[in-house]
Each structure stands twice: as C-alpha cells, then as structure tokens.
Amino acid sequence: MTIARSILTLATVTVVLTACQSPEPENSPSESVPRLGSWGVETEYVAQEVRPGDDFNTYVNKGWMDSAEMPAGFSRYGAFTELALEAEENVGVIIEEAKSGSGTLGSPEQQIGDLHAAFMNNARLNELGLTPIQDTLTTLLALSDHESVARWMGRNGTNSLYAAYISQDAGNPERYITHVRQSGLGLPNRDYYSRTDEPFPEHRKAYVDYIEATFERAGVDNARERAEAVMALETALAEIHWSRVQQRDREANYKLKSMGELLAFAPEFPWMAFLEERQLDGVDEVVVGTDEAVAASAQLFASTPPSTWASYHAFHWINNHAPILSDEYADANFEFFRKRLNGVEEQRERSQRAISFVSGRLGELIGQVYVERHFPPAYRAQMEELVSYLRRAFAERLETLDWMDDETRIEAQAKLEAFLPKIGYPDQWRDYSEVMISSDDLLGNLNRLADWSWEDSLARLNEPVRDWEWFMSPQTVNAYYSPTRNEIVFPAAILQPPFFDPFADPAVNFGAIGGVIGHEMGHGFDDQGSRSDSEGVLRNWWTDQSREQFEQRTAALVAQYDGFSPLPNMTVNGALSLGENIGDLGGLSIAYHAYKMYLDDHHNGEDPVLDGFTGDQRFFMAWAQVWRTIETEESLRARLIRGPHSPAMYRVNGVVRNIDAWYDAFDVQPGDALYVPPEERVSIW
C-alpha cells in the first residue's frame, strides 16, 4: 500500500472482530476495550459543523488535525508515524537489552549492541571527521579514464548511471535474473532539475551551493567549478531519464536482452568493467528497464570527460556517507535534503536515529524478538480469517462485474484464488552471524553488511526462488503486494489501532484494516499488477474487450485525481498515483462488501447503532481515521511530484465520493462539495 507499494494491514477472526466475545490472546492488553474511543473511532474529533458531503476527511478528523503536533524530525505525521514511533520505543528496549547482555561474537545480541554502540559514539565520529572515507575519496578524485569510472560505479557506496540488482524474472518468476535500469541523480527525481516554478529554481541553486560546501569541507580544490560541473552533468542526465509515470509501466520496463544485445544496445558504456566489479560478469541475460534512458545515458557517459566523472564520484561518495560522518557533514546533509526539500524543522535526537539505523540494517534479528513480545500468535489466525472475508467478497464482486467477459473473469478468479497472504513475520529468518560487527568501526560495519547483502543477493542467481523471503521487517509499519510473487504481505507492526483492534467494533475493523487488505489485493488488479497472471508471469491474460472496459474506468479515475489541487498551481498526478488510487477505491469497496457478508453470517444482516452512528457510518469513519494527517507544505509538494500516493486527504475524499453506500450513510446530496452524479462515479472492482 505499499500503502507503499501497497500499504498496511491486519487481520482478525470472527471472534476478534466481535470485540468483547473474543478470547484474550497471550501478551494482549488486560482490558477488553478498544484503544481508540468506545468502539474504535475517536468521535471527540468529529467536526459536527462540517457536512460530511463537503469534506469527509475534515468531518471525521478536524479535531485531531487541529490539536496534533509535528514530532521533531518529521515532515508528515499521522497513523503510520504514530505506530512507527511506538514500534521504535519497543525496538529501543530490545536494543538496550542486547547491549546489556553478554552475547558471544556473532550472536544477535552482540551484533545489535555493537552496531548501536558504533552509531552512538558521536565523539569518535567527530574525532575521525573524513578519515574513514578519505583514502577512497583521494582515489576517486584521481580517476582519469572511463573504464575506471565505470568500475567504481559497480561498487557499494558510490553513485552509478545504472542500478544493477538481482530480482525475480517477471517473464519467468521461477528464476532470478539481473536487472539494469536508470539511476544516478542526486536530487529526488528529474523534475527537480527542470521545473521553473518556485521553489525549484532556488532548490537547484541551493544544491550547487551544497555540493560546493561539501567539497570545501573536504578540502577539495576548485570547489565551485566542480559543483557546477556536477550539476550540469546531472541536469543532462535528468533530461534523459524516464518520468515516474513511464517507470510505472511494467511492460515497457521489461526488455530481456542477452549480454551481447546489451553491449550492442548501449555500446558507449564499458559494461564488462562495470559488471565485473559488480560480480555480474558471468551472467548471460539481463532485464533492461527504462531502456531508452539506458542507451542515452551510455552516450552521455562517453561524451563526459573523466575529470567531471571524478568530481561526480567524489561528491556523492562524501554525500552518501554524510549521515555516518562527523556532525559537520551529517548536519549539512540534513539541512539540505530533509529540511530544505521536505520541510523537516529539526533533526531527531541521535538516540532516536540510532534505533532506526540499527533496526533498518539488522531488521530480522530485532524482528524475531519484536514478534515474540508484541504479536500474539492468535493474531495470525485472526488475520487469515479477515483475509478470507475479503477474498470471498472480491470473488463475489468479480462474478457480478458487467464490464468483464467470462474468459477474463476465469483468469481473474484464478489469480484471486492464488493470492498468498503473509502475516506478521517470516517463517524463516535471515542469518547474519557471519557478519563481523564492531563497536568502534561504524563505516566498516556498514561495508561488511553491504557486502554480505550483495553476496546473498548474488547467491539467488543459483538458487530456487526463496518463497520464504520478506522485503519488510516485522517492526515496519507498512505492507506490500508483489505482482511477481502474487503475494500480499502484512508486517506485525501495522496490525494495531487505528488499523486493527481486536476489541473494536467489526465495522471499524472492516473499514480500517479491511480496506487496507482490500487495497493490497487491489494491487493485483490495478493498471500494472493486472499485467501478471496467477503465477506471477507478466503476460496479457485479458481479452481486448475487457481491457478496453477496464481502461475506460481507470481513465475516469485519472481525470478525477488530476482535478485535485492541494497547493497553488499544483495538482495530483492521476496517472502517477493511479495504482494506489485503484487500490484505495477497490479495496474499500471490497471491504464494504465483506463487512456486509460478515453481518449476514453473524448478525442476520443487522448492525446496532452506537453513539448515534450506524454501522455503515462507522465503517467509513474508520477509513477516514486511518488517514488523518498533518504535513509540511514542502513534504506535500514533494509527494505531488514523486508519488505514487495521493495526499492523505484525497485517500479519503477521493475514494468515498465514488461509493454509493457512503452517500446513503451520510445523506450526501447534490450541492455538497464531494457530490458526484451516480453516472459519473467510478466503480472498477
């Protein structure tokens, strides 16, 4: 959902959804009451003066948004951040216990404790200054030929024109294959180099100043000249790069080539030197994404003198390591990238950053302890039950779609049936025991972890597909869908209020985590996920007629979101955010259907009124509560450019205005700001 590529999620059995009837799982709270409000939504924040049909997000969340305060170190604050901070506290306890233990060399306790200690030794980092990376910096500044430049692009810690990585082959998911695609920019994406509206010209000036200051801090000569050369090079590279919308196109980004074809396709780049350094010189096939940009980048590479590439490498070598260097480098990096570009006013305390740092690099070591303490075993079964409701509801909706023909419907049902849900944590954990972690060598620790990770990735080329593998740690507040694996994945940390509460009203759980589960399922049937079949193979399983009908509906959704303007002269990019918007709309629609199925199974189709709110009202309010958010203007601007998620307000208002049941629940009428005539409402799944 991810509510990032898909987003979050949690689960529940019938029993869990019926709050007070549910048995209390081990390690659960002692009170059988919801954590938020009396039934799962904090109704004290509801703004009675706002008509739901004018602004449903504000109606549900105004009181919270008015009173919420941005935590230090953040540019956006909402349910995800709240739970992430809670998980961080729990992880912090695990780290402190590891540090106080007497773990043997290579044990999880020793590795966790010493990595944390190395990051926290700020006095040593300040004393060392640039010393940890100085030798390599000197080498990079002396680069004098294109082959050497390309070799350095193949190493960890440097910037490269090309991202080269190992992943499943979308055309044949039973194997892993090398992928190559565009990379190399220092600013967030190509738009930052070309937009003429404010504040982007000022951002570019500040970026050049930051590059210059970085060189000056490092004692590199001709700092201004080098900075301007790096900016000119990256600007030329940005002109070549594919847009974010183009990068979403899975078919356009799948070009299978032999090594000979790659060499002929982009002959100006010394591929063999690059791949040899990347330990990929033995591969015979690659999948090329952003292929036109790959070819044009090779031409730019050859036409740019090695001296410019030397400056490019040197700057990014320093910048990439800045957060683990002395304060002068770390603070300058924060000031430009976090404060200027995203509106984060102050950096988080080092102790907080240390927890995030360790959890991000030894996530599964920490995750094993985290789930033992914070994810009762009963929750997995509860999640499976809720997923089963969503799957049944989706299957019923597929059967009644009037725009889909039977041939395509059979394939769609097969794909839905093949969905693999992964809940809470992996059944097999990664083994980091061979990685040497030292309490006084932060850079060395990172290098050894990076080398281990890359060696582990290379090993995939000679292995069966790792069905057990996860791409998020259990303490991550998020979730995702993988089209190549056809799996939906829900880490433990997202399975908490406001997403899921075992003691909340069923309407709330279906509207919140149910909508999220539906969102993840929806990614399998969005404009890109729908291009893979039940086995994860990238192929067209649609008839022309059904695909045309689908694209008519998605085009209408694009047009709706293109019309949303949260900042002056800036709108949501409906094409860039299409996959997430399909996930939201389809997910909430499916969750509503599942909720009605649940009521039929357990309450004869009836649901009581609670505190004056009907079941349908509580369902939609729960979805809105999930998305309550405050955000800096800079962060919102960046979100509009980079996507792929719509701003939080439209993940509420942009969705409910297309669902008939919402109109009935809140008596939304023509003339209300969110009203859409029935014939213009978009319904896909």
Q: Residue 6 above 50 pLDDT?
A: no
- Pair 393, 597: CB distance under 8 Å: yes
Provide the pLDDT for residue 512: 97
DSSP-assigned letter for residue 665? H
Phi, psi of 535, rounded to the nearest 5 degrees:
-95, 5
Q: Rounded mean pLDDT of 662-682?
A: 98
Calculate the CA dihedral of residues 236, 237, 238, 240 and round it to 10 degrees: 100
pLDDT digits (tens, 9 = 90+) for 39-59: 999 999 999 999 999 999 999
| CATH 3.40.390.10 domain span(s) along the chain | 14-69+378-423+470-680
Residue 679 is given by DSSP the state: G
Q: Supply the pLDDT for residue 32.
A: 81
Whether the per-residue pLDDT at 19 is higher than 90: the answer is no
295-353 tens-digit pLDDT: 999 999 999 999 999 999 999 999 999 999 999 999 999 999 999 999 999 999 999 99
Question: What whole-number percentage of the chain has pLDDT above 70?
Answer: 95
What does the pLDDT read at residue 146?
A: 98
Q: What is the pLDDT of residue 3?
A: 36
- Above 50 in pLDDT, residue 24? no
Spatial distance between the Cα atoms of 647 and 631, rounded to a whole number of angstroms: 9
pLDDT in tens, 444-479: 999 999 999 999 999 999 999 999 999 999 999 999
Q: In the predicted model, what is the mean pLDDT of the chain?
A: 94
Summarised one tens digit per residue, pLDDT across range 337-347 is 999 999 999 99
Which tokens sit at 130?
Answer: 């640039």
**pLDDT (0 to 100) of residue 418:** 97
Average pLDDT score over residue span 655-668: 98
Extended beta strands in 208-277, E state? 255-258
Helix (H) or strand (E) holding 141: helix 131-141
pLDDT, tens digit (0-9, with 9 covering 90-100), for 564-574 = 999 999 999 99
Q: Do residues 624 and 674 make contact, with C-beta atoms less than 8 angstroms apart? A: no
In this structure, what DSSP letter does residue 172 have?
Answer: E
Q: What pLDDT score was predicted for residue 13?
A: 24
Q: Are strands 480-482 and 487-491 parallel, antiparallel or unpaired?
A: antiparallel
Q: Is the dihedral of CA 584, 586, 590, 595 positive or negative?
A: positive
Q: What is the pLDDT of residue 101?
A: 78
Q: What is the mean pLDDT of residues 550-559?
A: 98
Strand partners, 168: 176
Q: What is the DSSP letter of 492?
A: G
SS3 category, 37: coil
Query: What's the pLDDT score for residue 242?
Result: 98
Task: Look at residue 21 and tell me whether its pLDDT is greater than 70.
Answer: no
Q: Which CATH entry fits the domain spanning 14-69+378-423+470-680: 3.40.1190.20, 3.40.390.10, 1.20.140.160, 3.40.190.10?
A: 3.40.390.10
In this prediction, residues 603-612 reach a mean pLDDT of 93
Establish whether the linkage from the previous residue to 644 is cis, with ω within 30° of 0.
Answer: yes
Nearest 5°: phi and psi at 118? -65, -40
| Tokens coding 416 | 């839905």
Share of residues in the chain with pLDDT > 90 (%): 92
pLDDT surpasses 90 at 279: yes
What are the DSSP calls for 283-318, one per residue? Answer: --EEEESSHHHHHHHHHHHHHS-HHHHHHHHHHHHH
- To which residue do tokens 């279906």 refer? 510
Looking at residue 91, its pLDDT comes to 98
- Any idea of the CA torsion for 459, 479, 536, 529, to the nearest 10 degrees? -130
pLDDT in tens, 204-236: 999 999 999 999 999 999 999 999 999 999 999
Cβ pair 392, 594 in contact under 8 A: yes
- SS3 of the chain: helix, strand, coil, percent, to 5: 55, 10, 35
Q: Where in the chain is CATH 1.10.1380.10?
A: 146-326
The per-residue pLDDT for range 226-270, each reduced to its tens digit, is 999 999 999 999 999 999 999 999 999 999 999 999 999 999 999
Predicted confidence (pLDDT) at residue 5 exceeds the cutoff of 60: no
> What number is the average pLDDT over the span 386-413?
97
Residues 110-128: tens digit of each pLDDT: 999 999 999 999 999 999 9
Question: What's 646's DSSP letter?
Answer: P
Report how many helices (DSSP H) and strands (DSSP E) the chain contains, helices first. Answer: 30, 9
Q: How confident is the model at residue 31 (pLDDT cuts 50, 70, 90)?
A: low
Token pair 């193979």 is at which residue?
A: 537
Which two three-digit tokens encode residue 202?
Answer: 């000022």
Spatial strand order of the sheet with 255-258 comes to: 162-169, 172-182, 285-288, 255-258
Question: In this structure, is the dihedral angle defined by the CA atoms of residues 178, 183, 189 and 190, taken in order, positive or negative?
Answer: negative
pLDDT exceeds cutoff 80 at 662: yes
With a cut of 60, say whether residue 28 has pLDDT above it.
no
pLDDT of res. 382 = 83
* Rounded CA separation 122/141 (Å): 28
Amino acid at 152: W
Q: Is the dihedral of CA 456, 459, 461, 465 positive or negative?
A: negative
Tell me if the pTM is above 0.75: yes
What is the dotted CATH code of the domain comprising 146-326?
A: 1.10.1380.10
Q: What is the mean pLDDT of residues 124-144?
A: 98
From 119, 322, 310, select the one nearest 217 (Cα to Cα): 322
The CA-based dihedral angle spanning residues 214, 193, 340, 224, taken in that order and rounded to the nearest 10 degrees: 30
pLDDT at 29: 41
Within 539-640, strands assigned E span 629-631
